[in-house]
């Protein structure tokens, strides 16, 4: 697996959350749009773009955008 482009991941996350930008230390729950639809969209994005299958509970358990990147990265290995 090639190295994961974190900037690109955060751009995809920003598109899902309907915001301009997501920074690594942003807390996901602080976004108004962080709801079940956003979680499903992240799950779909992880599957389509990174070929990993993540459970919704796993996504719910992470705190920041950086944690989410780490979760996807860990699954790819």
Partner 1 sequence: MNFIFRRKRIAGVLVVVPENERSFSEDMKNFNFPEARSLKLKEVMGFDKRRVVKPGVCVSDLAVFGLEHLMGEGLLKRDEIDALLLVTQTPDHLMPATSSLIQGRLGLKQDILCLDINQACAGFVIGLMQAFMLLEQESVNKVVLINADVLSRKTSPKDRNIYPLIGDAASIVVVERDPEDSVIHASLKMDGSRAGALIIPAGGLRLPSSPETAHLEEVGDNNLRAKDHVFMDGSAIFNFVQTEVPPLIENLLARAGVASEAVDYFLCHQPNRFMLEKLADKMKVPYARMPNNVVEHFGNNGSVTIPTVMAYNLRERLLREQLQVCLAAYGGGLAWSAMLLKLGKLAFNTIIEYK
CB-nearer residue toward partner 1: 51 or 63: 51
CB-nearer residue toward partner 1: 11 or 53: 53
Asked if 44 touches partner 1 (CB under 8 A), the answer is yes
- Alpha-carbon distance of 57 to 71, in angstroms, equals 12
- Alpha-carbon distance of 37 to 73, in angstroms, equals 22
3-state secondary structure of 27: strand
- Alpha-carbon distance of 34 to 76, in angstroms, equals 24
Q: Which of 1, 2, 3, 32 binds partner 1 (CB under 8 A)?
A: 32
Residue ranges in contact with partner 1 by CB under 8 A: 18, 32-33, 35-37, 39-41, 43-44, 47-48, 53-56
């Amino acid at each position: 697996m090639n190295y994961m482009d974190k900037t690109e991941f955060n751009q995809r996350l920003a598109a899902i959350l309907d915001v301009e930008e997501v920074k690594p230390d942003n807390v996901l729950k602080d976004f108004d749009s962080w709801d079940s639809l956003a979680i499903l969209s992240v799950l779909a994005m992880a599957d389509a773009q990174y070929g990993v299958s993540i459970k919704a509970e796993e996504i719910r358990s992470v705190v920041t955008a950086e944690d989410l990147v780490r979760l996807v990265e860990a699954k790819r290995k």
